[in-house]
Structure 1
Amino acid sequence: MIGVKRLAGAALSVLLLSGAAHAAPKAAPTPEARTAARFDAIVKDRAQLRLFLRAMPKGGDLHNHLSGAAYAEDFLAWADEGGLCVTTDVLPSIVAGPCDAPGKVPAKGLAAANTALYNRAINSLSMRSYNPGADGAMASGHDQFFATFNRFGAAGDGKLGPMLAVVRDYAAGDTVGYVETSVNPTAMGDLAWSFKDTPWTGDFAGALAAIQPKLPAMVAQARQEFDAAEADADRRQGCLAQKPRTGPCAVVLGYQGFAVRILPRSVVFAQLASAFALAEGDPRFVGVNIVAPEDHPVSLADYDLHMRMIQFLHAQYPNVKLSLHAGELTLGLVTPRELRFHVREAVETAGANRIGHGVDIAYEDGAHDLLARMARDGIAVEINLTSNDVILGVKGADHPLALYRKAGVPFVLSTDDEGVSRIDLTNEYLRAVVEQGLTYADLKAAARASLEYSFLPGPSLWASPRAPVAACAKAGPACDTFLAGSRKATAQWRLEREFQAFEASPR
């Protein structure tokens, strides 16, 4: 925990600053007001705005996939280290050896040995230079985006530690203190896949009974794997000697286990059951998700079933949090009937605490009532502007962010797969300003929301948007104790300190 007692000493000055401004309207502008004025002065200068937003504290990135967070160059470096190969296709992939077979070359030293192929590989493993009209290019950004995962997947095998280090490094460089990333332990995948030949009968209780005896061993193996991976990341980044931790070492990670919705039904159920067990058995696993293209024929055919699977398992594990990919669809990608219920079923049937994407909300039956429920129940939506653009072609005025905001639905800005899209969270903040008209106050609220609606355990620091809980209304032992007992409140306090420093510094 990061200097909790030292943090508590400045409670009133940091947390009640905005309230003081209201009490003394004739006083000099607050640091927050001066920072907002600076933002307004540069909002049309994209380079200046980028500098401003990169330095701005952003709290957390709540919609993040670990394998998609690494850049193509990271995967090529790991392929180099691991003796893997790169194919010489128009759209190269990273594959296993031997590398002297036709159509393969060693990844080792590829950047220098064949710069043209190295650059073509970066394009193939990401959205860089994607052009749907180019010779050999995939038909759409949607297809290119999802195809990249199979192309670089071999390089990520056995690289959990390096991948954790990479995501922390990118977050720290982007002024992000918490990342909630989707990742499955090896043991979870092995357990789930062992059910691939098990016929699906629709008997939820029976399927769970068949899996349950294997869950404790899976959780124990997963804990060992992540203990080793986190220690590896710490060694790589020199964290072991840091007290307190700084830079990448100070970035907090939370994990979401997930099911892949295009797999056989028995495997999906086993993945979900494993993810729920992990979230209950290891505090680092803070929630459960479901992933893969929502427009895939299997995803569409089984959508209602998957929501009912989650509903059943959630009843067995009621304390587990859910962030569900839902509504990553748009008109033309699927038939109109598929646009009418995905977000609703994720909320009403599965019981989602957050919705990932939610792009099809304006097409949903009873959308106004659904939006009102999300606002009332605090079901936040994870907004991924670049991802929605490159995958769905939805951006600008066509994006439903303004609709969610008007309805009072809490929202957070996220990256989705920053390595594949070749972005960072600063880029998403910039797009939110340029394309969606968000102000400094809006961005600050989104940063705070990213921790408020995170699945970090413990009570929130905030009793209301402008007031901390009673224990931290003044400095003292009560606040020290409160922060020590809540990882969420500690992260929120850290964010407030970062905002205080950001708004006090000239720029």
Structure 2
Amino acid sequence: MREFFRELPKGGELHNHLSGAVSTEYLIGLAADDSLCVDTSTMTAVAPPCGPGTRPAADARTDRAFHDAVVRAWSMQDFPEGGNGHDHFFATFGKFGEVTWRNRGKLLAEVADDAAEQRQFYLETMVSPASGGAKQLAADVGWDENLSDLHSKLLAGGRLDRLVAEAGTEADDANARFRAAGRCDTDTPRPGCRLPVRWISQVSRGSSPERVFTQLALGMRLAERDGRFVAVNLVQPEDGERALRDYSLQMRMIQYLRGVYPDAHVTLHAGELWPGLVKPEDLSFHIKDAVGVAGAERIGHGVDLVHEDDWQGTARSMAAKEVAVEVPFTSNAQILGVRGADHPFETYRRYGVPVVLATDDPGISRVDISHEYRYAAETYGLSYAELKDVARASLEYAFLPGASLWQGNPTRDGHRFTRACAGSHPGARPPAPECRTFLAGNAKAGVQWRQEAALREFERTFRPGRPWTGPRAGA
């Protein structure tokens, strides 16, 4: 089973925070390489020199007890059952943040390698572009309830465009470091070098309104001007005091900016909530407004669906608009304690909402995407055909440019090749000239073709004497 799920072609990774995606052991190694220190009272990485109350991160290479203490502080390793996973999970980012901001390119090389080795064909990962500059611009401009006027102030004097240029320079540097770490321009490239990667600009929803708006405007302007950036997303705990207070305002911000930047994509963490974590009224509308007001094209987590007002209407709307939900099972269990029958995974599928599996922060969670697919199969009794549909959905709803390989709505209508490639057989023989031209001009279809070829090879290799239908639910 372990080999089966590892080798299963699993589409793309659409919900991934770069800073939380690499293994804690790798972060410790980077901290040591950068001569960072660890505050022993909080287990937080800090810049050198190492003064009183700190230890060199390099000590973790020789002191096993210290190493294990850092791993537990920076991840969910050995976290006690029934403990406050929510607070511990989100606190880890601040503990290793001094490591991650210095090493974006190296982190990307690790994450891309892992995705490729896990038999994925595409990666979208979240970062905070030009974070310092955006914070300063927001402080300089201040808040204005008239969003059009506020946007004009950001544009004045070319200041927002300078942030776009700064973010582009950051991406250039990260890409160069990624290619160096991945040996991409040598005769021995690492697996991640062949993986298409796009950035999603993350926005700190717990920040002041002017900072949230500035980060949103920057991310959406980037997505229209730099093909490496495709979308924006709100991050940080959705149950935070300011995040709850400003939720409706932030949805209106996105609604306004979508009118200014119609080609920028939007995927939103929404419904990462559960009864007892927030007041009942805060459970009643987040997914609905993310879809209906902000116009989100994908929803991350969406765990509290059935606790919302008219949740059936929201589910039907998501299905009709093909708004996919990104499901990271382990993250939902660790942060919210939601698993198994309590999770709305089956409800989304019953209503025809496209569902994709994701890892969220696999380094913190100590899992990989193969684990998430196996969990889905064992917990919900998914057949191989259903697992294949989930994998295909993760490419169908990726923010890659170009047309899809599939006709119509594959969640509703099934998977039929588009006319140009009808009758083609990925992996069996080269595409016909018309199909080859279509694939070359549509990046999304090109990646989907690669997955279909991999699925054919996988089925040839793993096909038993009779079709594999998946384990029984609960097995």
Question: What TM-score comes out, normalization by structure 2 length?
Answer: 0.92
The equivalent of 1:310 in structure 2 is 254
Give 3-state SS (helix, strand or coil) of 1:288's partner: strand
Q: Does 1:124 align with 2:73?
A: yes
Contact 2:4 2:462 in 1 (8 A): no
Residue 253 and residue 145 in structure 1: after superposition, are their counterparts in 2 closer, same or farther (change >3 A)? same
Contact 2:22 2:362 in 1 (8 A): yes
| CA distance in structure 1 between the aligned counterparts of 2:435 and 2:174, rounded to whole angstroms | 33
The equivalent of 2:406 in structure 1 is 462
Q: Give the Å deviation of 1:132.
A: 6.4
| CA distance in structure 1 between the aligned counterparts of 2:72 and 2:415, rounded to whole angstroms | 46
Residue 289 and residue 242 in structure 1: after superposition, are their counterparts in 2 closer, same or farther (change >3 A)? farther
| CA distance in structure 1 between the aligned counterparts of 2:137 and 2:164, rounded to whole angstroms | 16
The equivalent of 2:427 in structure 1 is none
Q: Give the Å deviation of 1:184.
A: 2.1
The equivalent of 2:433 in structure 1 is 477
Contact 1:88 1:117 in 2 (8 A): no
Choose 276-285 or 207-216, whichever is displaced more: 207-216
Choose 466-475 or 405-414, whichever is displaced more: 466-475
Residue 392 and residue 193 in structure 1: after superposition, are their counterparts in 2 closer, same or farther (change >3 A)? farther
Q: 1:94 aligns with which of 20, 30, 45?
A: 45
Contact 2:201 2:219 in 1 (8 A): yes
Contact 1:288 1:321 in 2 (8 A): yes
The equivalent of 1:63 in structure 2 is 15
Contact 1:188 1:274 in 2 (8 A): no
Give 3-state SS (helix, strand or coil) of 1:195's partner: helix
Q: 2:183 aligns with which of 238, 247, 271?
A: 238
What amino acid does structure 1 have at the position aligned with 2:135? Answer: A
Residue 246 and residue 470 in structure 1: after superposition, are their counterparts in 2 closer, same or farther (change >3 A)? farther
Q: Give the Å deviation of 1:198.
A: 4.5
| CA distance in structure 2 between the aligned counterparts of 1:309 and 1:452, rounded to whole angstroms | 27
The equivalent of 1:221 in structure 2 is 166
5+ residue gaps in structure 2? 409-413, 424-430, 464-475
Q: 2:330 aligns with which of 374, 386, 406?
A: 386
Q: Does 1:487 align with 2:437?
A: no
| CA distance in structure 1 between the aligned counterparts of 2:336 and 2:59, rounded to whole angstroms | 36
Give 3-state SS (helix, strand or coil) of 2:401's partner: coil
The equivalent of 1:428 in structure 2 is 372
Q: Give the Å deviation of 1:394.
A: 0.5
Q: Give the Å deviation of 1:84.
A: 0.5
Give 3-state SS (helix, strand or coil) of 2:138's partner: coil
The equivalent of 2:27 in structure 1 is 75
Q: Give the Å deviation of 1:197.
A: 5.8
Correspondence list, 1:74-473, <5 A? 74-89=26-41, 91-99=42-50, 101-112=51-62, 114-131=63-80, 140-185=84-129, 187-196=130-139, 198-212=141-155, 213-241=158-186, 247-464=191-408, 465-473=414-422
Q: Give the Å deviation of 1:224.
A: 2.3
| CA distance in structure 1 between the aligned counterparts of 2:152 and 2:265, rounded to whole angstroms | 22
| CA distance in structure 2 between the aligned counterparts of 1:166 and 1:356, rounded to whole angstroms | 23
What amino acid does structure 2 have at the position aligned with 1:266? Answer: E
The equivalent of 2:3 in structure 1 is 51
Spell out, residue by residue over 1:12-71, the C-alpha distance to the aligned partner (whole angstroms, 9 max, x if none): xxxxxxxxxxxxxxxxxxxxxxxxxxxxxxxxxxxxx22100000001011110111012
The equivalent of 2:460 in structure 1 is 504
Q: Give the Å deviation of 1:156.
A: 1.2
Spell out, residue by residue over 1:280-338, the C-alpha distance to the aligned partner (whole angstroms, 9 max, x if none): 01111111111110000100000000000000000101111111000000111001100
Residue 242 and residue 374 in structure 1: after superposition, are their counterparts in 2 closer, same or farther (change >3 A)? farther
| CA distance in structure 2 between the aligned counterparts of 1:387 and 1:110, rounded to whole angstroms | 27
- Count of equivalent residues: 449
The answer to which structure, 1 or 2, has the higher relative contact order (CA under 8 A, 6+ apart) is 1
Contact 1:125 1:420 in 2 (8 A): yes
Residue 246 and residue 442 in structure 1: after superposition, are their counterparts in 2 closer, same or farther (change >3 A)? farther
| CA distance in structure 1 between the aligned counterparts of 2:16 and 2:349, rounded to whole angstroms | 22
Contact 1:196 1:264 in 2 (8 A): no
Give 3-state SS (helix, strand or coil) of 2:266's partner: strand
| CA distance in structure 2 between the aligned counterparts of 1:194 and 1:214, rounded to whole angstroms | 8
Give 3-state SS (helix, strand or coil) of 1:182's partner: strand
| CA distance in structure 1 between the aligned counterparts of 2:70 and 2:131, rounded to whole angstroms | 30
| CA distance in structure 2 between the aligned counterparts of 1:223 and 1:271, rounded to whole angstroms | 15
What amino acid does structure 1 have at the position aligned with 2:22? Answer: A
Residue 463 and residue 246 in structure 1: after superposition, are their counterparts in 2 closer, same or farther (change >3 A)? farther
Contact 1:355 1:380 in 2 (8 A): yes
Contact 2:183 2:190 in 1 (8 A): no
| CA distance in structure 2 between the aligned counterparts of 1:176 and 1:492, rounded to whole angstroms | 11
What amino acid does structure 1 have at the position aligned with 2:6? Answer: R
What amino acid does structure 2 have at the position aligned with 1:434? Answer: E
Contact 2:182 2:190 in 1 (8 A): no
Q: Give the Å deviation of 1:445.
A: 0.2
Q: Give the Å deviation of 1:109.
A: 4.1
Contact 2:18 2:126 in 1 (8 A): yes
Contact 2:216 2:254 in 1 (8 A): yes
Choose 427-436 or 392-401, whichever is displaced more: 427-436
Contact 1:259 1:268 in 2 (8 A): yes
What amino acid does structure 2 have at the position aligned with 1:356? Answer: G
Q: Give the Å deviation of 1:242.
A: 5.5
Spell out, residue by residue over 1:128-177, the C-alpha distance to the aligned partner (whole angstroms, 9 max, x if none): 011268xxxxx600000000000000011221110110111111221111
| CA distance in structure 2 between the aligned counterparts of 1:205 and 1:438, rounded to whole angstroms | 48
Residue 422 and residue 214 in structure 1: after superposition, are their counterparts in 2 closer, same or farther (change >3 A)? same
| CA distance in structure 2 between the aligned counterparts of 1:175 and 1:353, rounded to whole angstroms | 25
| CA distance in structure 1 between the aligned counterparts of 2:176 and 2:52, rounded to whole angstroms | 39
Contact 2:43 2:95 in 1 (8 A): yes
Q: Give the Å deviation of 1:463.
A: 0.9
Contact 1:123 1:129 in 2 (8 A): yes
| CA distance in structure 1 between the aligned counterparts of 2:100 and 2:329, rounded to whole angstroms | 26
Contact 1:383 1:414 in 2 (8 A): yes
Choose 303-312 or 461-470, whichever is displaced more: 461-470
